[in-house]
Amino acid sequence: MAAFEIPEEQWAQVVEKSGGPAVYKKIPVQKPGPDEVLINVKYSGVCHTDLHAMMGDWPLDTKMPLVGGHEGAGVVVARGSLVQDIELGDHAGIKWLNGSCLACCFCMQADEPLCPHALLSGYTVDGSFQQYAIAKAAHVARLPKDCDLEEVAPVLCAGITVYKGLKESGARPGQYVAIVGAGGGLGSMAIQYAKAMGLHVIGIDGGDEKRESCQKLGAAAFVDFMSSKDLVQDVKDATPDGLGPHAVILLAVSEKPFQQATEYVRSRGTVICIGLPAHAFLKAPVFDTVIRMITIKGSYVGNRQDTQEALDFYQRGLVKVPFKTVGLSELQDVYSLMREGKIVGRYVVDTSR
């Protein structure tokens, strides 16, 4: 175990007031507490949540000033006195859940994301848009040494989240799952995870480009919400017995797709909500929900076990991440593209520039 030379100062993107912007500047490097590690972040994915954190438009307060980022992949360069199962030089990932109490009734049941004392990277604690970030040792993602730190970054939030949603859906190998928003960045990962889990995918999105991208990734069917004359019927028809998919993963929840999902999902099926549009509401007819025994379920980020499982699928080559890399200094440009809705895959920032 080599010792690492750790600088006193580092480059970071710092949000100084709610609403932004993020400022690229030098800030001090922190020291890990007894149960923490210090990670030299090499790459970090950029997630829609980072934009929400900067804008402060979610009903949950952020730390301020704030270093955002929660898809950081790097190398452990220091550790606290209690940390025993991570060595200096190990590769590790910083994810949305930076830490949790590990002792409350949620943590005790492996639902750490629901911990009332949860620390959120790039939201309630500083995250991965800096060269050296702190995280609770029990929570950092364990990455194998041969893991590509650039490509794995987006798995640390996007990958885990869609994998968790698929797990929560209860869909079993051989069953059908509809993915709403299948042609986007999250969607393309969801299709790949679903297939690796033995599921058949019905991609739902708009336009021929999205259709092609879904088909290339192996979706069994594609329904175009822009050209379909009867979306509900078309999705049902995409299953061999016409009864509809066993589960629906809503990556882009707005009220319209949500209501339709409860209509085309198979009786006894499950609609999983993942997307987090500000101020939106779920709405479903009581009668149909009851007599068809439909389940509607919110799925947040994965716990630590989900994290390792999602990473395993990636590591075995079953999930390719569509990404584009820019320098950490260019983060504000990525936010601009995001606001304009111009991002298809995932952006990754390189902290060395």
Q: Which stretch binds Zn ion (CB under 5 A): 14-22, 32-40, 48-56, 139-147?
A: 48-56
**Which one of 64, 105, 226, 337 is in contact with a copy of itself (CB under 8 A)?**
105
Q: What residues numbered 74-113 form the site for Zn ion, per CB under 5 A? A: 100-101, 104, 107
Instruction: Please report how many Cα atoms fall inside a 13 Å half-sphere around the Cα of residue 90, on the Cβ side.
Output: 19
Could you tell which of a copy of itself, Zn ion, none binds residue 146, using a CB distance below 5 to 8 A set by kind?
Answer: none
Output the smallest distance, CB 102 to Zn ion, in A.
6
DSSP per-residue letters across 72-118: EEEEEEEE-TT--S--TT-EEEE-SEEE--S-STTGGGT-GGG-TT-
Residue 126 token pair: 């500083």
Q: Which is nearer to a copy of itself, 11 or 304 (CB)?
A: 304
Distance in Å, CB of 116 to a copy of itself, minimum: 9
Size of the site for a copy of itself (CB under 8 A): 73
**Nearer residue to Zn ion within complex by CB, 54 or 157:** 157
Nearest approach, Cβ of 16 to a copy of itself (angstroms)?
26
| Apex 120 CA angle, 114 and 123, nearest 5 | 130
Angle at 299 (CA atoms; ends 294, 301), nearest 5 degrees: 170
- Of 227, 305, 336, 352, the residue at the interface with a copy of itself (CB under 8 A) is 305
- Judge contact between 192 and 322, C-beta under 8 A: no
- Report 149-168 residues binding Zn ion (CB under 5 A): 157
Here the tokens at position 158 are 């996007």
Q: Taking CB under 5 A as the rule, does residue 62 contact Zn ion? A: no
Work out which of 109, 227, 336, 352 binds a copy of itself, going by CB under 8 A: 109
The tokens describing 192, both together, are 């790949």
Q: What is the rounded distance in angstroms from the CA atom of residue 303 to the CA atom of residue 68?
A: 20
Supply 221's token pair.
């069917």
182 binds Zn ion, rule: CB under 5 A: no
Partner from Zn ion, a copy of itself, none contacting 303, C-beta within 5 to 8 A by type: a copy of itself
Q: 266 has which bridge partners?
A: none
**Per-residue x/- track, 121-140, a copy of itself (CB under 8 A):** ----------------xx--
52 membership: H or E segment, kind and range: helix 48-55
Closest CB to a copy of itself among 174 and 341? 174
Looking at 18, 124, 215, 295, which residue binds a copy of itself (CB under 8 A)?
A: 295
Pairing of the two strands 91-94 and 72-79 = antiparallel
Q: Among 5-13, 18-26, 42-50, 80-88, which window interacts with a copy of itself (CB under 8 A)?
A: 80-88
CA distance 328 to 235: 41
> Which one of 40-48, 75-83, 144-152, 222-230 is the stretch in contact with Zn ion (CB under 5 A)?
40-48
Q: Residue 102 in contact with residue 141, Cβ under 8 Å?
A: no
**Considering the rule CB under 8 A, would residue 242 count as an interface residue with a copy of itself?**
no
- Which residues lie below 8 Å from residue 297, measured CB to CB, with a gap of 6+? 168, 169, 270, 271, 272, 273
